[in-house]
């Protein structure tokens, strides 16, 4: 019996909804992630440079938050860049691997730069606040991701991600000014950090994802 041909897309693949369900569970039912998210939203608008140490010093909190951000960012990038072909779970895993490696390298570079230019206390404060901003953006990205999957429109997806990316950069810049700005030279260093260690890695992830999808046009993956 002839059936309706299956068109693979973010909307039609069941594994996408399982990933979204997993992300929702991480937010709403995991105690450590829920605490981290609450701290994130509270601290973004705080002018204090203190760290909410009870939660941020917990390795489980950091690990769960990191896993959440990797999973959701990789899927959002895949959905935005995907045009035609098979929306493959294996390809998604490859993108997760790329995002993980880039994020680890990014964190290592931030540590190296921090050890050179700021004190240990300032570095710890900066990393804690950066973690808060990233967690908040990750939570905001979840409903945006659901919209991206349902509308299945690359242009709209890029607009949504562009707006959220701009918010992330502005929040990171604002928080960095609060923590590290001492003179006009400090502003220059903060801008340099944003370009080299935040914007460039994002662009690199998107470029590598694009290469993977182009490669898949010629090989089954």
H or E element at residue 103:
helix 89-117
- Averaged pLDDT, 86-114: 91
Please list, in sequence order, all residues whose beta carbon lies within 8 angstroms of the beta carbon of residue 16, skipping any fewer than 6 positions away: 10, 75, 79, 87, 149
Model confidence pTM above 0.95: no
Query: Can you give the residue ranges of every domain in the chain?
Result: 14-216
Residue 55, pLDDT > 50, answer no
Which pLDDT band, with edges at 50, 70 and 90, does 65 fall under?
Answer: confident
């Amino acid at each position: 019996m002839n059936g309706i041909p299956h068109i693979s897309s973010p909307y039609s693949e069941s594994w996408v909804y399982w990933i979204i369900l997993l992300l929702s569970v991480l937010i709403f039912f995991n105690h450590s992630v829920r605490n981290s998210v609450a701290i994130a939203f509270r601290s973004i608008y705080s002018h204090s440079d203190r760290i909410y140490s009870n939660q941020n010093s917990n390795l489980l909190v950091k690990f769960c938050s990191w896993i959440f951000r990797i999973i959701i960012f990789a899927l959002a990038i895949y959905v935005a860049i995907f045009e035609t072909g098979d929306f493959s779970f294996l390809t998604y895993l490859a993108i997760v691997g790329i995002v993980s490696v880039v994020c680890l390298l990014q964190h290592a570079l931030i540590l190296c730069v921090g050890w050179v230019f700021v004190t240990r206390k300032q570095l710890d404060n900066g990393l804690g606040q950066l973690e808060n901003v990233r967690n908040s953006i990750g939570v905001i990205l979840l409903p945006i991701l659901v919209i991206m999957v349902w509308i299945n429109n690359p242009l709209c997806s890029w607009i949504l991600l562009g707006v959220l990316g701009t918010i992330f950069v502005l929040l990171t810049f604002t928080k960095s000014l609060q923590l590290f700005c001492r003179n006009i030279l400090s502003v220059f260093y903060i801008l340099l950090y944003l370009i080299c260690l935040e914007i460039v890695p994002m662009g690199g992830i998107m470029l590598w994802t694009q290469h993977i999808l182009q490669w898949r046009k010629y090989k089954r993956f």
